[in-house]
Structure 1
């Protein structure tokens, strides 16, 4: 478990009680729901004596306590309380010790070790995911493709590729590409404003759909149908109205609509997934997550404004291809942003650049300090939507969950700005990865759209003679298996951790996620077994560990190697014994064959002799037979003559009698 690897969470005592200085929500019973790979420990993969000893002694680790002097927290002598203390004294000592541990944790927080803890957690999760993906890649070709996609997309790994030489262009890169001059009426006012901010003939139907604005089951596809294909403009207006953000930040209504319509027009309608519909969906999902009871009154109005604005612009001017595609094709954007979060940087640049167009500055009435704070926060949130940063975000969130502080009413205590930003960063990331947690009909539509976008990229790569990216080859990709892997290794661990943070507010989402996984699992076609040909092994995707991972696992590798050597020696001994037995069996067989050969030779010789004797005997017998036959003929002739004589005598006697 996470605790077994990183220590017992603050607030948990060996007696099952909670520390008086920290109140935690009891987690939902883990036995009721499938756990993600995060709850596995390194010992599940490594059975070295050190690891086994460490884990096996964990349960007994609280049998000894060190009694510290309160003035000198690092001093003290370990004693065995059972040997000299009563049960009551033992329990009191345990509680005192935990208070000292709380003090130590506070000191660690003070010296800001959080970053290093998160980094350790991130490295650990990457190692665990590497092992899971390595196992998946060995199962089948489609499993290998899913593993490669997850690793290359969500683990901040850059594959070595042959980048074409840059071609000289006269086109200047000093401007932000993608920004177009659009003419939206700036004469809108609250008097002439349509009911939902968009011109539509289906106001009643749209009104009915917007009644579910605060629900996770909200159907953004129907909103797009009833809003004249203006889902982002409609959703932004509805949310800003409900939260009174237009009033709070004195945003003119006509300016607001000029900006959001211009923003929506900069999403590409011919891109299957990363279009204004996706932006509207992420914005509405962020709105629902901001309303989570556990986060009530945690964030300021400016932070809420920043989160919603970031969600709205987070994929603007998306070309429908991945960061890696832009890097591999030596695109202008990749050159401009030095291959680092290429699209995310571009989305930010376009989103902020549009504020400078005519009557588009929705933040015109913010103070300079508010504007600076909002810009910094929005940049942080949009950059967090780079999927290659997923493991780092997950590690940060998991670390926060393990050390979270709540009030007696269950509201999170996020005292510092950095803590609130960390939660917002993960919130927008969760909203961006929320499709599998929606109802199955919605989820399936999103899946069809993302796969269509992937396949279009694969076609472009095929036309250019490039290696086709994982899950982008329409001839080989397994849609069902990709979704099961996506849920198991990315979505489930993230939402499971978020659900722990806001417990019990996200339990229904986890249930829906599990149901959707089961549906895709049951519709998954039977994958063919991997080919036995060893020459195909080089096609398997290789998962490389970082230098830190190698150093961290060095002793494990040494032990595993020693185990392998021992196993090899045992195998060799077994092989030697088998060889000896085989040799003995072979010798016995040879002896038997030799004996059989000798017997056969003797038999053959005997047969030859018998054949010779038989031939001689046959000749003599033939002669004897011929002589015998002649004698028999003579005897028969004599007998016949005698019989004839007798007949004559009889006839004569009969004549005489007559």
Structure 2
């Protein structure tokens, strides 16, 4: 008989490990900064950039960094480490050096509670509120919202102690996760991952889930939310396929991005040894189940999951004491968290909509530059934020959240549906004030079913993009 229980909530002032809170690389060339200290925002000129510096000779500093990195990579890397690197992007390989990661043995085992501002701590006390402003929280944490939020949730549920997670390994893992989100992506960045993690926490607290989920389920759900778009480059799967990108070849044009996110997370598990203390079979099982959750965010499979969900609800046969049913509900919860932006209050939803649309348009700009066919919804001359959002809400978000409300008919579900209706009306009103889009653009939204629309959108308005930097053409492109 499987025992389901809720873990006690731990106090917020629990000690947290002091570690570098830097972005994509803990190295600083400022004479006044410490290699292992928390970053000074006055010294950092880039968020999650390769280096930070005070010198005006940026090129020389970058060459120095690459030279040292090359030396470390060739002389210090072991065989297993190189095998892990092959799972990852070139960018991940460059930043995987211990030189840039920091040396954990000098890091004390207490958390930098003193580095939390009063406002950030106050926000964490209300992390379960649906109107949680992740943009403000990211500012208050000096751009470290994903690290801070994820650690807080794991600590609050008591998962650090329960699973005997090494504090230094955990903190290092979270730093590396945040580093591997591309800060130059308008949408698919670490702030989006933090937002999805916060939404996932809200769903985990819903009565049906809170009384049924085990600590293992909760650990998987939080880690999957935090890593679900890891190393996302800002272009979508069709773009990778049509440019013959190596990731599309590697994963045979199937859930290319989601497979890469999953494998990147597994690479970090193994590089940090976060679960190395567990039996090998348990560790591999956790990696597989994490992959099952992340792969569920593939928006091109939206119809498959939605149909299964409807069948369960129609037959009323969901039994959350059954592990496979609980895992399926975790998949649906992560899908909802991934595309919940239209369900947020207007002030937050509008920012996300503008960000994801800009990412679409940047991909379209790349396609135009290299004389590729411009993907649907990616042409900034033919589309607007409003028409893209109305189509996404109508054909993707509304069907999913209507079924979620059937499953969990709570105040939160009704709040989400209410916000979504108001946001759709707001976009419709703004559309009437803007220049009408072309018939081709209208057809690209209205003339598709949910699955077809999903392939052409990102997976969170729709989060299905990725492969390489959105600022350059990817490897394998037919264009030079």
Q: TM-score, normalised by structure 2?
A: 0.70
Q: Report the Cα distance in structure 2 between the residues aligned to 1:460 and 1:397, rounded to whole angstroms.
A: 38
1:508 alignment counterpart:
415
Change (3 A) 1:272 1:397: same
Give the secondary structure class of the aligned counterpart of 1:524: helix
Question: Out of 243, 252, 259, which is 1:329 matched to?
Answer: 243
Change (3 A) 1:254 1:462: same
Q: Does 1:517 align with 2:424?
A: yes
Gaps of 5+ in 2: 1-82, 450-480
Q: Does 1:419 align with 2:337?
A: no
Change (3 A) 1:507 1:540: closer
2:137 alignment counterpart:
223
Question: Out of 351, 361, 365, which is 2:277 matched to?
Answer: 365
Deviation by residue 1:273-327 (Cα, 9 ceiling, x = unmatched): 1111111111111111011012222222112111111111111111100011000
Give the secondary structure class of the aligned counterpart of 2:386: helix
Q: What is the CA-CA distance between 1:192 and the residue it aligns to?
A: 3.9
Q: Does 1:184 align with 2:102?
A: yes
Give the secondary structure class of the aligned counterpart of 1:305: helix
Q: What is the CA-CA distance between 1:513 and the residue it aligns to?
A: 1.2
Q: Report the Cα distance in structure 2 between the residues aligned to 1:367 and 1:173, rounded to whole angstroms.
A: 19
Q: Does 1:193 align with 2:111?
A: yes
Q: Report the Cα distance in structure 2 between the residues aligned to 1:296 and 1:232, rounded to whole angstroms.
A: 23
Deviation by residue 1:519-578 (Cα, 9 ceiling, x = unmatched): 1111113665978xxxx9xx9899699xxxxxxxxxxxxxxxxxxxxxxxxxxxxxxxxx
Contact 2:241 2:248 in 1 (8 A): yes
Q: What is the CA-CA distance between 1:349 and the residue it aligns to?
A: 1.1
Q: Mapping of 1:437-586 within 5 angstroms?
A: 437-505=343-411, 506-525=413-432, 528=436
Give the secondary structure class of the aligned counterpart of 2:431: coil
Q: What is the CA-CA distance between 1:365 and the residue it aligns to?
A: 2.9
Q: Flag the structure with higher helix content.
A: 1
Q: Report the Cα distance in structure 2 between the residues aligned to 1:228 and 1:530, rounded to whole angstroms.
A: 42
Contact 1:216 1:438 in 2 (8 A): yes
Question: Out of 281, 289, 309, which is 1:397 matched to?
Answer: 309
Deviation by residue 1:111-133 (Cα, 9 ceiling, x = unmatched): xxxxxxxxxxxxxxxxxxxxxxx
Change (3 A) 1:519 1:541: closer
Give the secondary structure class of the aligned counterpart of 1:215: coil
Gaps of 5+ in 1: 1-171, 406-411, 546-658
Contact 1:327 1:339 in 2 (8 A): yes
Deviation by residue 1:349-396 (Cα, 9 ceiling, x = unmatched): 111111222xx2222233334323322211111111111011111111
Contact 1:188 1:254 in 2 (8 A): no
Q: Report the Cα distance in structure 2 between the residues aligned to 1:413 and 1:286, rounded to whole angstroms.
A: 20
2:123 alignment counterpart:
209
Q: Mapping of 1:95-134 within 5 angstroms?
A: none
Change (3 A) 1:529 1:438: closer
Change (3 A) 1:188 1:281: farther
Contact 2:383 2:437 in 1 (8 A): no
Change (3 A) 1:192 1:463: same
Give the secondary structure class of the aligned counterpart of 2:101: coil
State the aligned residue count. 357
Q: Report the Cα distance in structure 1 between the residues aligned to 2:437 and 2:291, rounded to whole angstroms.
A: 46
Give the secondary structure class of the aligned counterpart of 2:233: coil
Q: What is the CA-CA distance between 1:264 and the residue it aligns to?
A: 0.8
Q: Report the Cα distance in structure 1 between the residues aligned to 2:244 and 2:446, rounded to whole angstroms.
A: 25
Q: Report the Cα distance in structure 2 between the residues aligned to 1:452 and 1:530, rounded to whole angstroms.
A: 19
Q: Mapping of 1:44-443 within 5 angstroms?
A: 175-178=86-89, 179-180=92-93, 181=96, 182-187=100-105, 191-195=109-113, 200=115, 203-357=117-271, 360-405=272-317, 413-443=319-349
Contact 1:302 1:374 in 2 (8 A): no
Q: Report the Cα distance in structure 1 between the residues aligned to 2:424 and 2:448, rounded to whole angstroms.
A: 28
Q: Report the Cα distance in structure 2 between the residues aligned to 1:493 and 1:470, rounded to whole angstroms.
A: 22
Contact 2:376 2:444 in 1 (8 A): no
Give the secondary structure class of the aligned counterpart of 2:249: helix
Q: Report the Cα distance in structure 2 between the residues aligned to 1:416 and 1:256, rounded to whole angstroms.
A: 30
Change (3 A) 1:208 1:259: same
Change (3 A) 1:339 1:203: same
Change (3 A) 1:189 1:401: farther
Q: Report the Cα distance in structure 2 between the residues aligned to 1:370 and 1:461, rounded to whole angstroms.
A: 44
Q: Report the Cα distance in structure 2 between the residues aligned to 1:361 and 1:540, rounded to whole angstroms.
A: 46
Q: TM-score, normalised by structure 1?
A: 0.51
Please tell me the root mean square deviation across aligned C-alpha atoms, in Å: 2.6
